[in-house]
Structure 1
């Protein structure tokens, strides 16, 4: 599976494996070794997780299916066995396998198109199969799945600017962190770092939710509005962006720090670093920093800090650089 767009045969292999793991993990004799093997398979490709989730839904539905007449008669003739229900569900799951492979699209369970995109050391521009255009910042990873009822991007890490192909009957959904952004056609930017998500809307409108498991479609944003949320937030924080906002400067290869406190600046910087910068304490985090930086040269940022700020660097036991504020000298008597 080296191609971004998978063939029908490759889809079938993944679906078969998902059905196998679904049955094994529900079996009473499933071993720890099998569970470890499943986890390795599950994490090996984003579509593995997607297919397994779909198979889980089939499994749950199969558990509620009524028995056929022969099964009911057989139950009257034979004593009940502990694995009887499992066997019935497993059979239903096996019968449902062709449905997942060939009818999953029409039922809205499986995508008919799947792409994986990543940008490492340079900004990347991509065009999705629906015509939408994306710009990916450095160290960005995302997937696109085209379902019958929605187009879905899952932002795994990083930042992307979206120009969405308009289609009111086929909404575009971005999953980032715990939240969801729903649009039909618009231009916006989404940044994800650890559990923090920030959305900047440039044109059109979106519905944003900080928890996609909550009822409703979320809060509506208009142009020049921003939403922020992180894990555990019931609602996103909404604000207006000002004309000189520099959050999209990365599209020109720049990072602009406009007199930010270090604790605000580090998440913006660390997304570009292989070894993230840490803060020694809250007083160090309050020190303010500014400037315009080339995003490809931010690995030199840490070394330059002691030249412009009253700080010095140490390293923690994990090897990460730690910023420490210089001790204040007592006033002369």
Structure 2
């Protein structure tokens, strides 16, 4: 999908295609080739799946409408051909879609704008349809949906820096792992690796919750504060950041490790690796690592760790590199 919002004509074309596939897949003469073509269309863009799901809901609604036999005399019924069936379904979809879309938007169920962004091998800057500016770190993927009562981002993986366009009546919500970050206009960074999330606030204020299912909006952060949470946390852990905090160094292509234990450093490193590095035990995890690294060259860091740390590399049954602490030499007698 393109980064810029679709025109009405482009959006209508996707809606028409979704209606076509909805009718064909419900037809008894739908072929295997058509089903394969549908799958290719569905996988081509996240918005295709979104529109198709919406069309299925409309189809279900149409299925609950009164049957012709219930409202027309039997003598007036004419034989119904497959094309007539498709025509009726198309008419129902054409009539129901604007009403369903309007009702869904009015009730806050359906967005009127959807965008999907990815950054693979380079840091990327994008602008959301509400004017919010976002920087995406390497290997980051997110989606943006604009609803009547809120603006919603789903951070699927990676890390992003947000400069949110202010709108007090239209809160901006980022969903990351099991938690959420709620703002109206501010600057903040969200880092995610597996089920671990870290939020750094630069300007303004945010509310951070570690679980979407919990009531309330979460804990409030002020500038120079950080929130961390992971799977199972009832509330985020809040801490103060230092003036020389290096968590945003990725915006300049760097990863700064300030004498961190390997257990803390490896999640920051693994975010950039195709195959994550493990530690053999807690003793290895307590070994400390520091330095400034180019985020595009972190794959080469793994092989050099035994040269700078008292560790050696093995591989586990899944093929992951594993760091093991070197056995200590017994004291000489």
Displacement of 1:262 in angstroms is 0.6
In structure 1, the residue matched to 2:212 is 212
User: Structure 1: which 5+ runs fail to align?
Assistant: 26-35, 75-91
Alignment check: 8 A CA contact 1:19 1:97 kept:
no
Give distance in 1, aligned partners of 2:210 and 2:117.
Answer: 24
The answer as to whether partners of 2:43 and 2:49 remain within 8 angstroms in 1 is yes
> 1:114-153 counterparts in 2 under 5 A?
114-153=114-153
Superimposed CA distance per residue, residues 101-138 of structure 1 (whole angstroms, 9 cap, x where no aligned partner)? 45433332222222211111111111222111111111
**Partner Cα separation in structure 2 for residue 293 and residue 265 of structure 1:** 12
The equivalent of 1:226 in structure 2 is 226
Alpha-carbon distance, 1:10 to partner = 5.2
Q: RMSD value over aligned CA atoms?
A: 3.9
**Equivalents in 1 of 2:95, 2:104: separation in Å?**
13
**TM-score (norm. length: structure 2):** 0.78
Asked if the contact 2:190–2:199 (Cα under 8 Å) also holds between the matched residues in 1, the reply is yes
Q: How does 1:176-255 map to 2 (within 5 A)?
A: 176-255=176-255
SS in 2 for 1:212: coil
Distance change (3 Å), C-alpha of 1:332 and 1:266: same
Q: What is the CA–CA distance in structure 2 between the aligned matches of 1:57 and 1:176, rounded to whole Å?
A: 27
Write the deviation string for residues 297-331 of structure 1: whole angstroms up to 9, x where unpaired: 11111111011101111223333222111122222
Superposed displacement of residue 172, structure 1: 1.0
Q: How many residues align?
A: 322
Corresponding residue SS for 2:143? strand
Residues 37 and 265 of structure 1: is their aligned pair in 2 closer, same or farther, counting only changes over 3 Å? farther
- After superposition, the Cα gap between the structure-2 partners of 1:232 and 1:21, relative to the gap in structure 1 and judged at 3 Å, is farther
Residues 21 and 253 from structure 1, CA distance in 2 versus in 1: closer, same or farther, beyond 3 angstroms? same
Alpha-carbon spacing, 1:265–1:71, altered in 2? closer, same or farther (3 Å): farther
Tell me the residue number matched to 1:165: 165
Tell me the distance in 2 between the aligned counterparts of 1:95 and 1:123.
Answer: 44
Query: Residue in 1 aligned with 2:277?
Result: 277
Aligned partners of 1:15 and 1:101 also within 8 Å? no
Is the alpha carbon distance of 1:329 and 1:97 closer, same or farther for their aligned partners in structure 2, counting shifts above 3 Å?
Answer: same
TM-score, L = length of structure 1: 0.78
Matches within 5 A, 1:38-57: 45-47=45-47, 50=50
Q: CA contact under 8 A between 1:100 and 1:110: conserved in structure 2?
A: no
Task: Indicate how the Cα distance of structure 1 residues 51 and 275 shifts in structure 2: closer, same or farther if over 3 A, else same.
Answer: same
Residue 259 (structure 1) shift: 1.1
